[in-house]
């Protein structure tokens, strides 16, 4: 004699002849395991709460992405600037009529390093060896041996006129800089010295 889940004795073995409850065993439903997930930090397959590779708790917020610091390099290009030369001649600068624009003067590049970069024309007899050496050829006679200084600071550069004979101007301004006073520069700014020399500042960022 069979016994139903309610406790009745039943002659029949498929259904209880007292209450009619099924006497067949309930089917067992297989429970699918939780699918594996990738760790949000290292990407490894995580079967449980904690990543076995890096230990990250899957219930904790995902950490913010860490970006590599940006590396910044600076350099200047030096070239003969016909537009600047025309302004010097029109303004009647010192010996402007006697100075000609060079027929060939390929651009030159100087990388900036350290905290100070000197601009001028070297003189072995006077012991002057500027970093941005404009001795030529061709040589701009309006550039002093110790003409100007580039000073690093605040993530950028400033230019300082060192009391040069013919002065230093920036971005086409007709007004020369006051000697020995830093003038902040930005990427792409142009520093004009001598009769036809333009120095352009360049900022290059790399990841």
The answer as to whether 132 is a domain residue is yes
**pLDDT higher than threshold 60 for residue 2:** yes
Nearest to residue 163, comparing CAs of 140, 190, 145?
145
* Domain CATH for 144: 2.60.200.20
What pLDDT is stored for residue 92 in this prediction?
79
pLDDT tens for 132-190 read 999 978 999 999 999 999 999 989 999 999 999 999 999 999 999 999 999 999 999 99
What pLDDT is stored for residue 21 in this prediction?
74
pTM: 0.66
The answer as to whether 60 is a domain residue is no
The answer as to whether 38 is a domain residue is no
> Which of the four pLDDT bands, split at 50, 70 and 90, describes residue 94?
low
What pLDDT is stored for residue 65 in this prediction?
60
The answer as to whether 134 is a domain residue is yes
Nearest to residue 142, comparing CAs of 80, 204, 200, 201?
80
Instruction: Map 66-117 to HEC letters.
Output: CCCCCEEEEEEEEEECHHHHHHHHHCCCCCHHHCCCCCCCCCEEEECCCCEE
Instruction: Work out the mean pLDDT of the chain and round it to a whole number.
Output: 85
More confident residue, 108 or 54: 108
Q: How far apart are CA 8 and CA 22, in angstroms?
A: 12
How many structural domains are present in the chain?
A: 1
The answer as to whether 41 is a domain residue is no
Q: How far apart are CA 18 and CA 4, in angstroms?
A: 9
What pLDDT is stored for residue 76 in this prediction?
98
**pLDDT higher than threshold 50 for residue 96:** yes
All residues at 6 or more sequence positions from 25 whose CB lies less than 8 Å from its CB, including other chains: none
The answer as to whether 145 is a domain residue is yes
Say which range, 14-28, 111-125, 186-200, has the weakest mean pLDDT.
14-28
Nearest to residue 183, comparing CAs of 201, 164, 157, 207?
157
The answer as to whether 166 is a domain residue is yes
Helix H or strand E segment including 193: strand 190-193
The answer as to whether 153 is a domain residue is yes
State the residue range of the domain holding 91: 71-206
pLDDT tens for 17-48 read 777 677 676 665 554 445 567 787 777 787 77
For residue 128, give the DSSP letter. Answer: B
Q: How far is CA 140 from the centre of its chain?
A: 35
Q: Degrees (nearest 5) of the Cα angle 201, 174, 96? A: 95
């Amino acid at each position: 004699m069979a016994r139903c889940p309610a406790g009745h004795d039943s002659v029949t073995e498929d259904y209880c002849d007292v209450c009619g409850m099924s006497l067949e065993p309930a089917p067992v439903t297989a429970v699918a395991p939780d699918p594996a997930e990738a760790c949000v930090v290292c990407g490894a397959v995580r079967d449980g709460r904690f990543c076995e590779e890096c230990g990250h708790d899957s219930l904790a917020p995902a950490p913010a992405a860490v970006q590599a610091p940006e590396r910044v390099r600076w350099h200047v290009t030096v070239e003969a600037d016909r537009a600047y030369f025309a302004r010097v001649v029109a303004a009647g600068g010192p010996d402007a009529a006697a100075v000609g624009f060079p027929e060939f003067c390929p651009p030159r590049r100087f990388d900036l390093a350290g905290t100070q970069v000197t601009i001028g024309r070297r003189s072995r007899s006077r012991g002057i060896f500027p970093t941005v050496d404009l001795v030529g050829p061709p040589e701009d006679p309006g550039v002093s041996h110790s003409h100007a200084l580039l000073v690093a600071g605040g993530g950028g550069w400033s230019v300082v006129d060192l009391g040069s004979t013919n002065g230093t101007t920036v971005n086409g301004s007709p007004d020369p800089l006051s000697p020995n006073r830093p003038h902040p520069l930005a990427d792409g700014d142009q520093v004009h010295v001598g009769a036809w020399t333009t120095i352009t500042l360049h900022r290059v960022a790399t990841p």
